[in-house]
Amino acid sequence: MKPKTIIGLALMLGFGALLFLNFGQQVGGYMDFAEAEETGAEAHVVGTWVESERYAYDRDRNVFSFHMQDEEGHVRMVHYPNPKPANFEDAERLVVQGSTEGDIFVARHILVKCPSKYNDGAEFRAAAS
């Protein structure tokens, strides 16, 4: 092989390795609040809005705040630097993507999972039988 080809392949391999290494450190995957705090990584946390706690939107700071309980039962205050997502009150589950800063989980994205209006529940009744 020509030296230019070897150098080109080595550079492409090195760039690919750096890309995968950097991407792997930034995306922590699905965790609960305790794991997200422990690792300090960007995480996806699945949970439910704690309806007994108050939620608020601060227009001056453009921050929507609410309490969320993850699947392990940990409750954490969540700050989302955007207005309240549509259908927030109707959500069966929430997926927040972000990181922990002190006692607060700062979400960059929120996915609101609402009950399907097309699902009549027949498959659940059949499974229970």
| Separation in Å, CA 63 to CA 8, 56, 89 | 47, 8, 17
Six token digits for residue 14: 């090195």
Model confidence, pTM: 0.69
**Ordered per-residue pLDDT tens for the chain, 129 residues:** 788 888 888 888 877 777 666 655 555 678 899 998 888 888 999 999 999 999 999 999 999 999 999 999 999 999 999 999 988 888 889 999 999 998 999 999 999 988 766 655 555 555 555
